[in-house]
Amino acid sequence: MAAKPKIAVLGAGMGGLAIAALLDRAGWAVTVYEQAKAFARVGAGIQMSPNALRVLRALDLEAHIRSVAFQPRYWRNRTWDTGNMQNELTLGAEAEERHGAPYLLGHRADLHAALLSRVPAERIALNKKLADLSQNETSVTLTFTDGGSASADIVIATDGLHSRAREILFGAGEPRFTGNVAYRAVFPTARLGGLTLDDNCKWWGPDRHIVIYYLNPRQDEL
């Protein structure tokens, strides 16, 4: 039987770690190349729908994610100035029974840490910023800005908005500003001074909206 191809994954974000974990579990030779020198607790909230939970279930991460994430009972929509309810989507146990997996809310860093735990440490190379790619009939050569290089049979680019791999393959391109801006932040619930919030709510204004939800079962961050 021929050996399974060597796979290089560029970028150790959510996508890179998820695909590396699944490939490693399936017995493929995979290495993740990440340009950061270390991982840090960055980012804000993330919504994990039932189809995403099925992927985490395949990595035996469901129990852990349930322990660190918040399961809302509903998703509400309110009018910005009056607070009037526009509609409510039932979630919680009812949605979990309907879809076969829960809908959870959490901190992006907690999800990232969970995925990282499923990729063997020796499969991740830090401080590896891609400089160039070249290929022949049998393999791909990756060169990095630190002067190092690596070879692989397959390269999977999950290196984000400023993807060097995409630039090499398809040319440079600037993002097109749509005029829309999103701000995200995490706050301790204690700063609300006892104000009671919905589990998960989108407040609709005439030209903008704000989404607020808890990030963990303790409900001490939102």
Catalytic-role residue among 33, 74, 103, 213: 213
Give CA–CA dist 53/101, Å, rounded: 6
Q: Indicate the SS3 state at residue 100.
A: coil
The yes-or-no answer on residue 213 being catalytic is yes
- Per-residue buried b or exposed e for 25-48, using 16+ beta carbons within 10 Å of the residue's own CB: eeeeebbbbbbeeeeeeebebbeb
Helix axes 50-58, 92-99, angle to 10 degrees: 70
Contacts of 196 (CB under 8 A, 6+ apart): none
For residue 120 the two structure tokens come to 């063997």
Place of tokens 């919030």: 197
Catalytic residue positions? Answer: 213
